[in-house]
Amino acid sequence: MLFSDSVLKSAASLLLLAASAHAQCSEISGNYYCNKVDQVVYENIGFSGSYNKVTNFDTNSCSCSSKPVAFSGSLSPLDEEVSLHFRGPLNLKQFAYYSYNNTKSKRDVPEAETEKHTVARRHVHHAHKREIVYVTEYVQADAAAPSTAAAASTSTAAAAKKAAAAKASSSAASSSKQTTQTGTGWTRQSYYNAASQSSNGLVFLNHQGGTAGSGVWDTCFGNSLSYCGSDGISGAGSPQILADTVIPSNKEFSIFTSEKCQGDSCGYYRPGSTAYHGFDGNYKAFAFEFSMPSDAGSDAVINGDMPAIWMLNAQIPRTLQYGNGACSCWSTGCGEFDIFEVLNSGNKFLTSHLHTGQGAASLANNGGGGTADYIARPVSGTLKAAVIFADASITLTVLDDDTTFDSFLSDDAMAKWIAQSSSSSSSVSL
């Protein structure tokens, strides 16, 4: 095929832009890092597709069965139940989950069972390399904001305000309940505070099934989910409150709601596993306070000094997070969002990346998208941040140090959270 001069010039211009973008960034272990930011906005999230939902575990043949299920809509498939996952070195100080409410009524949500638990085993977070994304725009506080990034922050704040059209997340009643205030805005449904050793509406789990009285283990699939010990490393026979402690390198725990899976309420999950509901809906928000101290002397074989906080479609850990790919929906694109992740040992840059079929190559199911901009890792002191799902956008934003995770946030209060770091923002549009 013959190309016109204009096409060739256009291609040359794009190459120059790409080269310029690379020149402004630094490469570390195959990944590019460009600008330090305090906010990343993902826009136009959600699409129509399908993934393979696991329907059976067979311990005789060590195989799993599945069937395709379709999804569509804003934020899909991450509008489904999700779980939060944490890898050391990390000290979680606070965690809060908010659902959107558009009623003036009160409702009951399950309160976390409070006992103690632990965990122990090495895991490998789904490895991936980020490629530089040229749709990213960076906003300097002392410069005129590019329209795309400015619009991203504005549209996300607007989405938070218009969330009255959203359906509030619901929690089934349990024998232990907590009555929470609701109204038009965001109600805190789950909360953990390390200093006061208090928690409600959530449960800590890990992958120590069959070691301490919860979950199962077999030669085919290894350890299932179990209750996590207060040390964040060992397993336990009942729910525990995570201690105010640093989780070492390559150790993981997860957070689910305090609502147990009953019957088929969660769909299929691994038999014998410690199974709980995840956080549901396309209007939901999570707030964190944490530190990620250096662990340069770690003897971890993998993931040494590589902390991370990420989100999975809750079906993944309830079936098989690590192991036979046919035994979870991850490889077929049911969804992962890396919120704060260090990609190589000792790195001080936290990246984010969306893993779904949206934005992926034709033969891939978890390409998604990300940005080469980064948030600074809190090696000393703590970082407060939030990730807000509102309609078709995901906003990851650093919060002021004096921000409190109150039991209720009005639409204006949530918009202020989003606005705090909007002057230093990167946007990704898929």
pLDDT at position 145 is 34
Neighbouring CB atoms inside 10 A of 420's CB total 17
69-110: pLDDT as tens digits: 999 999 999 999 999 999 999 999 999 999 998 754 333 434
Q: Identify the sign of the CA torsion 175, 180, 186, 190.
A: negative
Task: Return d(Cα 239, Cα 341) in angstroms, integer.
Answer: 27
Q: Which pTM value belongs to this model?
A: 0.81
User: How confident is the prediction for the chain on average, in pLDDT?
Assistant: 82
**pLDDT greater than 60 at residue 177:** no
pLDDT at position 368 is 78
* Angle between the N-to-C axes of helices 147-161 and 411-419, in degrees from 0 to 180, rounded to the nearest 10: 160
Q: What percent of the chain has pLDDT over 70?
A: 74
Helix (H) or strand (E) holding 14: helix 5-23
Specify which residues 355 forms β-bridges with: 336
More confident residue, 166 or 319: 319
In the numeric block, which tokens belong to residue 317? 């850990």
Greatest mean pLDDT among 156-160, 177-181, 404-408: 404-408
pLDDT at position 391 is 87
pLDDT at position 3 is 37
- The residue-averaged pLDDT of 222-226 equals 98
Task: Return d(Cα 281, Cα 388) in angstroms, integer.
Answer: 12
Task: Return d(Cα 78, Cα 329) in angstroms, integer.
Answer: 13
**pLDDT greater than 60 at residue 353:** yes
1-23: pLDDT as tens digits: 443 444 333 433 333 344 444 55
**pLDDT greater than 90 at residue 186:** yes
- Residues in contact with 19: Cβ distance below 8 Å, sequence separation at least 6, in sequence order: none
pLDDT at position 103 is 57
190-203: pLDDT as tens digits: 999 999 999 999 99
- The residue-averaged pLDDT of 239-244 equals 99
3-state secondary structure 36-102: ECCEEEEECCCCCEEEEEEEEEECCCCEEEEEEEEECCCCCCCCCCEEEEEEECEEEEEEEEEEEEC
376-416: pLDDT as tens digits: 999 999 999 999 999 899 999 999 999 999 999 999 999 99
pLDDT at position 6 is 40
**pLDDT greater than 80 at residue 134:** no
Neighbouring CB atoms inside 10 A of 244's CB total 14
pLDDT at position 136 is 37
- Which band of pLDDT confidence, cut at 50, 70 and 90, is reported for residue 53? very high
pLDDT at position 159 is 53
Total residue length of the chain: 430
- CA–CA distance from 348 to each of 36, 58, 85, 90, 94 (Å)? 11, 43, 20, 13, 21
**pLDDT greater than 60 at residue 337:** yes
